[in-house]
Amino acid sequence: FEGNRLVHVSPILVNKLADFIYHGPEYVQVRILTKDYCEVICDFDHTLSKYTHNAERVPVCHDMYAYEKSCLMKEFWNLAHKALVDGNVSREDIDCCVMEGGIVLRNNVNVFVNKLNQLSIPIIIFSGGIGNVIETVLMSSGVSLDNVRVVSNFMDFNPEGRLVGFQDPIIHCCNKTYDVLRNTEYFETTLSKRMCILLIGDSASDANMVDDRQTFSCEEVVVIRIGFLNEENDEKLKLFSSLYDLILLSDETFDVPLFILSSIFNIDEVCNHERKKKNFTNSNI
């Protein structure tokens, strides 16, 4: 991948990919069945969105509260939300913040998410930020939300367009896991049979976003984890290597996740390759 820095590949990744694509004896069955059994789980901040843009760090306001240092995240998020409500924020203010806030999606994120939509594969985006902002950023970048479920903090507005509160539950970096979907209609109708998960994140805690899925699913879940390591750090690389199957260093694109998705579901090319291989073998017998 030109411009990509793939720095770690788990030795069990091949077995996980095989589990993703093997659901029947015929390739056509693989295509039909696999997409019905797959889903994508993804962090937003510095995963779908860039960590740097034009060689400059993208501005953020919450990364100073590191996961390891925080034990009062719910209290902090409540106070932050109250401050926004007390500030008499309007919908127009939110739209203005999105336009001027400097959030930039990684290259080809829109292609990746829209490809998932074509395949009817759901993507769940977890974020401790504000869901209204995330949806606005995605739509302004040409991303279809038909197959997207954003699990984040959503604002409630009154008829005059003024912020009056936030919906429950509060989502922060300590509870950003599959557990918040437990016993929901969305899980029962859309996710319950999907045993193959592509998980994408940029922190150690992101790698555990799906762990609670194991506790309330009767089937064994296969998870391929892709980690974006946004800054070169030997200690963090070692930690990521124990958590993620693939690690991408300082990569501002979504080319590798897109390649994996295309490789798994581009059945026509796989079949053509197998036919050519078979014809070549027969011609040399």
Residues with a known catalytic role: 43, 45
Paired with 151 in beta bridges are 126
d(CA 147, CA 138): 12
Please tell me whether the peptide bond between 169 and the residue prior to it is cis, using omega within 30 degrees of 0.
yes
Distance CA 35, CA 100 (A): 37
In this structure, which amino acid lies at residue 51?
Y
Question: Cα–Cα distance between 267 and 110 in angstroms, integer?
Answer: 22
Q: Which residues, 6+ apart, have CB-to-CB distance to 91 below 8 Å?
A: 157, 161
Say if CB 150 and CB 123 are below 8 A apart.
no
Look at residues 188, 198, 175 and name the one whose alpha carbon lies nearest to residue 246: 198
Three-state secondary structure string covering 112-123: HHHHHHHCCCCE
